[in-house]
Structure 1
Amino acid sequence: MISVVILGAGNVATHLFKAFEKAENIVVNQWYNRSLKTIKPYKNKIEIIDDLALLNDADVYIIAVSDDAIAELSEQLPFENKLVVHTSGGVGVYDIDKKHKRGVFYPLQTFSKDAEMDFKSVPICIETIDKKDYHILKALAISIGSPTKKVNSDQRRVLHLAAVFVNNFTNQLYRIGHEITESEGAEFDLLKPLILETAKKVQELSPYMAQTGPAKRHDKKTIKKHLKILKNEQHKDIYKLLTKSIQNTHGTSTGSATNFEKNTHNGRKKL
């Protein structure tokens, strides 16, 4: 049986608690947060505390807070030589205070509190300083059904950076698409099968091979029409930047980046 204490109450912490609660060989001893209000709905399932001095003994202490708060919280923990890990993709393992055994338990997935999560589709990237600690974290991940991958700090950082592109930035593009459709009363829901097919396609093809669209085909008239439709200057800039990126990737640009920008300035000049 692996005993765990969760520190923090964000999306990741909440989903980890739910997963650990269902696992047969994991027991969550406590759940700490600075404000009990956030975790109060779970008070009948787990001991909740807002005072670090009340922390119980555990095999693993999981810090699931904002990146900027990890180092300070690890320093405030009133013990030493215990396995303390964080769940961030972008924070170094050495950011955890050196009085602890240090590690990273990074679930590579997007989390929203109200969305159900099956950890079978959540790879856990594990990093430890001591090899013995790695086996504990691997067992913890396996217990909730997650595939595991041993990574070093550099690999984890680039995975997190890539995740920002494929998830956070992509979601922002969805939001822009939603705004564009609403501007003319079109239904965003009609795009959802396309969104799903796009995600499905990269399961079988590389993103390079899966690329389609007017930028790759260099459909100058279509690109010009799109830029004319866009009223938001920021959206125009994003459209032009991504078009240029696609054309550079696929070798379909008719000129230098400067020439492309000149030809598409505000969507007014001819491509």
Structure 2
Amino acid sequence: MSIYDSNSYFSCMISVSIIGAGNVATHLYKVFKKSEQVSVVQWYSRDLNKIKSYKNAVAITDQLSELELADIYIIAVSDDAIASVSEQLPFKDRLVVHTSGSVSIYDLDKKNKRGVFYPLQTFSKEAKVDFKKVPICIETIGKKNLPLLQSLAEAIGSKVYKVNPDQRKALHLAAVFVNNFTNQLYRIAHEITESEGVEFDILKPLILETANKVQHLSPYLAQTGPAKRNDKKTIKRHLKQLESEHHKAVYTLLTESIKKTHGR
């Protein structure tokens, strides 16, 4: 994996068509509209109600057969739907990319030029995203279209990484651990504090410090707590304190993982 540093391909406007209306598609639309180097020519959703509020700003459609000419067609739909949507596209020899971290580039129909434009970030429609802090991982079959995807990422201020399929899948798997699983642990912590009427907000400075620490230290060196110290009495008290068997199982699994990592 490397930061892609070839010369920008396009000095003029890059036209894109967005296919999908979920979190990623919505955030991409918003950041593309702000860029002076990107033109969103069309936005497709099979359910027009999801994007009708944007109809005065961009051409919208619920018919794939109505897709107009664009430099790049970005499929931002659920992983399971990528292959089907790609197969239904009514044209060939155009550049079609998906935004998934785990779906193969070869799931895209081979009648078109294929690529991946993967923004490695968590997206919720309600939360603002600064794309200057979002790494974009790009992948194509052949090198010809890499500069175009690089230019698109640069047009929204993102850092660009050229990755191969195995690297992208590894990044996505790692992202599930650092984001999705971590967020679930936040949820468990919220349930624990709620059970005693304590404000979850009291934990937020600790959450921020934990995230900030790994900007400067490796996760291995940043680890603290009773499991690393093998503080058996504290661990026993915690397990007794937990009422939910599910919470106990999670606590035990992570405790054993930390102990194994640190040789306890």
- TM-score per shorter chain, which class? over 0.9
For residues 173-208 of structure 1, give each alpha carbon's deviation from its aligned partner in whole angstroms, at most 9, with x where no partner exists: 000000000000011000000000000000000000
Paired position in structure 2 for 1:83: 95
Shift of 1:41: 1.0
TM-score (norm 2): 0.95
For residues 41-95 of structure 1, give each alpha carbon's deviation from its aligned partner in whole angstroms, at most 9, with x where no partner exists: 1111101100011100000000000000000000000000000000000000000
Paired position in structure 2 for 1:196: 208
What code does the residue aligned with 1:5 have? S
Work out the CA distance in 2 between the residues paired with 1:39 and 1:227.
Answer: 48
Work out the CA distance in 1 between the residues paired with 2:208 and 2:144.
Answer: 41
Shift of 1:12: 0.4
Paired position in structure 1 for 2:86: 74
**SS of equivalent residue, structure 1 residue 27:** strand
For residues 29-50 of structure 1, give each alpha carbon's deviation from its aligned partner in whole angstroms, at most 9, with x where no partner exists: 0000000000011111101100
Q: Which structure 1 segments of 5+ residues have no match?
A: 253-271
Q: Which structure 2 segments of 5+ residues have no match?
A: 1-12
**SS of equivalent residue, structure 2 residue 169:** helix
Work out the CA distance in 2 between the residues paired with 1:67 and 1:223.
Answer: 40
**SS of equivalent residue, structure 1 residue 149:** strand
Work out which of the residue numbers 174, 184, 208 in structure 2 matches 1:162. Answer: 174
TM-score (norm 1): 0.93
What code does the residue aligned with 1:129 have? I
CA contact (8 A) 1:36 1:49 kept: yes
**Residues paired across the two proteins, number:** 252
For residues 110-135 of structure 1, give each alpha carbon's deviation from its aligned partner in whole angstroms, at most 9, with x where no partner exists: 00001111101100000001211100
Paired position in structure 1 for 2:59: 47
Work out the CA distance in 1 between the residues paired with 2:142 and 2:36.
Answer: 26
Kindly report which structure 2 residues correspond to 1:120-269, keeping only aligned pairs within 5 A, or say none: 120-252=132-264
What code does the residue aligned with 1:123 have? P
Paired position in structure 2 for 1:10: 22
**SS of equivalent residue, structure 1 residue 132:** coil
Work out which of the residue numbers 11, 17, 33 in structure 2 matches 1:21. Answer: 33
CA contact (8 A) 1:120 1:146 kept: yes
CA contact (8 A) 1:62 1:85 kept: yes
Work out the CA distance in 2 between the residues paired with 1:242 and 1:8.
Answer: 37
What code does the residue aligned with 1:8 have? G
Work out the CA distance in 2 between the residues paired with 1:36 and 1:8.
Answer: 10
**Percent identity between the two aligned chains:** 71
Moved over 6 A (4+): none
**SS of equivalent residue, structure 2 residue 254:** helix
What code does the residue aligned with 2:157 have? G
Work out the CA distance in 2 between the residues paired with 1:199 and 1:41.
Answer: 36
Paired position in structure 1 for 2:8: none
What code does the residue aligned with 1:189 have? D
More helix by share: 1
Residue 76 of structure 2 is aligned to residue 64 of structure 1: yes
Q: Tell which structure's C-alpha radius of gyration is larger.
A: 1
